[in-house]
Structure 1
Amino acid sequence: MNVVSDSLKSGSALADDYINHFARVQELYEADFREEAAWGSRLKWLDESEETRVGRKELVSCLRKYNKRHNDHQEVHKSLDLLEQTGTLAVVGGQQSGLFTGSLLVVYKALTIILAAKEAQEKLQRPVVPVFWIAGEDHDWDEVNHTYVMTPELEIAKIKMDAAPGPKGPVSNTPVTSEQWRKALDQLAVMLPDSANKPEIVELLHQSAKESDNLSDAFAKLLGRLFGEMGLILLDSADPGLRKLEISVFKRMIEHNDELGQTYQSAAARITGKGYQLQADVSAESANLFYIYQGNRLLLQKQNGNFTDRKGAVRFSKEELYHELESHPERFSNNVLTRPLMQESLLPVLCTVLGQGEISYWAITKDAFPVLGLQIPILLPRMSFTLVSGTLRKYMDHFGLSFQDVQHRYEEKRQNWLNAQADLHIETRFEETREAFAKLYGPLIHELGTIQPGLIPLGEKNMGKILEQVSYLERKTKQALEQQHEAALRRWEHIYVSLFPMGKPQERVYNIFYYINRYGFGWIGEILGSCTRYTAEHQIIEMQ
Structure 2
Amino acid sequence: MELESFPLPSNQPLAEAYCLQSDSRIAGLFGGHPSDEGVWQARSAYLREQRDSRVPAESLARVLLDYNRRFGSEGTVAQSIESIAQGASVIVGGQQAGLWTGPLLVIHKAVTIIQAAKHAEARVGQPVVPVFWIAGEDHDWEEANHAYIQADAPRKIAIAHPGGAKTSVSRTKLTAAEMKAALQELAAVLPDTPNKQPMLAMLQATADGSATLTDWFAHVLTHLFGEHGLVLLDADDPALRKLESDMFRTLIERGGELEGAYRQAGAAIRSLGYKVQAESAEGCANLFLFHGNPADGGQERTLLYRREGEFANRRGTVRLTADELIGIAEQAPERLSNNVLTRPLMQDYVLPVLATVLGQGEIAYWAQTSESFRLLGMEMPIIVPRMSFTLVEPHLPKQMDKYSLGFNEVIERYAAKRQAWLDEREEWAIGEKFGKTRAQFEELYAPLIELVSSLEPGLGRLGDTNRERILREIAYLEQRAKDAHERRFDAALRQMDRVAHSLWPGGKPQERVLNAMQLYNQYGVDWIKRLLEAPFEPDGRHRLVYL
Normalised TM-score (structure 1): 0.91
- Relative distance call for 1:160 and 1:432 in structure 2 (3 A) is closer
Tell me which residue corresponds to 1:91.
Answer: 91
1:22–1:208 Cα change, 3 Å: farther
Tell me what 2:296 maps to: none
The one-letter code sitting in structure 2 at the alignment partner of 1:264 is Y
Please list the CA deviations of residues 42-61 of structure 1 after superposition, one character each: whole Å capped at 9, or x if unmatched.
33322322222111111111
Change (3 A) 1:430 1:270: farther
- Is the Cα–Cα contact under 8 Å of residues 112 and 534 in structure 1 kept in the other structure? no
Q: In 2, distance between residues paired with 1:59 and 1:288? A: 24
2:195 & 2:359 partners in 1: Cα distance? 30
Per mean C-alpha deviation after superposition, the further-off stretch among 358-367 and 277-286 is: 277-286
Aligned twin of 1:384? 388
> SS at 1:390's partner residue?
coil
Task: Give, in angstroms, the shift of residue 19 of structure 1.
Answer: 2.4
Which residue identity is paired with 1:382? R
2:13 aligned with 1:13, yes or no?
yes
What is the correspondence of 1:255-270 to structure 2 with a 5 Å cutoff?
255-270=253-268
Residue type at the aligned position of 2:134: I
3-state DSSP of counterpart to 1:59: helix
Does the 8 A contact of 2:245 with 2:333 survive in 1?
A: yes
2:120 corresponds to which residue? 120
Work out whether residues 430 and 470 of structure 1, in 8 Å CA contact, stay in contact via their aligned partners in 2.
no
**Does the Cα contact within 8 Å between 1:147 and 1:158 map onto a contact in 2?**
yes
> How far off its partner does 1:7 sit?
2.1
Secondary structure of 2:533's counterpart equals helix
Counterpart of 1:81 in structure 2 is 82
Stretches of structure 1 that go unaligned for 5 or more consecutive residues are none
Shift of 1:94: 0.3
| Cα offset, 1:379, TM superposition | 1.7
| Between 528-537 and 514-523, the greater mean CA deviation after superposition | 528-537
Q: Secondary structure at the match of 2:90?
A: strand
CA RMSD, 1 decimal: 2.8
Which residue of the partner structure matches residue 149 of structure 1? 149
> 1:371: which partner in 2?
375
- Report the Cα offset of residue 390 of structure 1: 2.1
Aligned residues: 539
Q: CA deviation at 1:464?
A: 6.0
The match for 1:283 is 281
* Of 180, 183, 186, the match for 1:182: 180
- What is residue 413 of structure 1 aligned with on the other side? 417
| Cα distance, 1:450–1:477 mapped onto 2, change above 3 Å | closer
CA deviation string 1:412-466 (max 9, x = no partner): 1111111111256665x36974897599779989999999997998997787667
Contact 2:153 2:498 in 1 (8 A): no
Q: Secondary structure, in 3 states, of the residue corresponding to 1:421?
A: coil
Per the alignment, do residues 464 and 347 of structure 1 end up closer, same or farther by CA in structure 2, a change over 3 Å counting? same
CA contact (8 A) 1:445 1:456 kept: no
TM-superposed CA distance for 1:505, in Å, is 1.1
Q: Does 1:321 align with 2:328?
A: no
Distance 1:195 1:278, change over 3 A: same
Alignment-mate amino acid for residue 309 of structure 2: G
- The question of whether the paired residues in 2 share the 8 Å contact of 1:430 and 1:474 is answered with no
Alpha-carbon distance in 1 for matches of 2:485, 2:328: 70
**Residues 17 and 24 of structure 1 are in contact (CA less than 8 Å); yes or no, is this contact kept in structure 2?**
no
Instruction: Determine the structure 2 residue equivalent to 1:519.
Output: 523
Give the match for residue 44 of structure 1.
45
Structure 2, gaps ≥5 residues long: 293-298
8 Å CA contact 1:90–1:130 kept in 2: the answer is: yes
Taking a change above 3 Å as real, the CA distance of residues 349 and 464 of structure 1, as seen in their structure-2 partners, is same
Mapping for residues 290-305 of structure 1, pairs under 5 Å: 290-294=288-292, 295-305=299-309
Cα 1:397–1:306, aligned 2, differ >3 Å: closer, same or farther? Answer: same
User: CA 1:463 to 1:213, structure 2 compared with 1: closer, same or farther past 3 Å?
Assistant: closer
Q: Relative to 1, partners in 2 of residues 1:494 and 1:245: Cα closer, same or farther, differing over 3 Å?
A: same
Tell me how far apart the structure 1 counterparts of residues 510 and 155 of structure 2 sit (CA, whole Å): 14
Moved more, 450-459 or 498-507: 450-459
Q: Deviations over 1:236-283 (max 9, x none)?
A: 111111111111111111121111011112223343455544432411
Please name the residue that 2:243 is paired with: 245
Which secondary structure state, in structure 1, belongs to the residue aligned with residue 357 of structure 2?
strand
Aligned partners of 1:171 and 1:214 also within 8 Å: yes
Q: Write the distance in 2 (CA, Å) between the matches of 1:343 and 1:358.
A: 14
Equivalent in the alignment of 2:105: 105
* 1:60 corresponding residue in structure 2: 61
- What secondary structure does 1:366 align onto? helix
Amino acid at match of 1:189: A
Secondary structure of 1:90's counterpart equals strand
| Greater Cα offset, 234-243 or 266-275 | 266-275
What letter matches 2:318 in structure 1?
V
Give the distance between the partners of 2:433 and 2:49, measured in 1 at CA: 73
SS in 2 for 1:235: strand
Alignment partner of 2:278: what SS?
coil
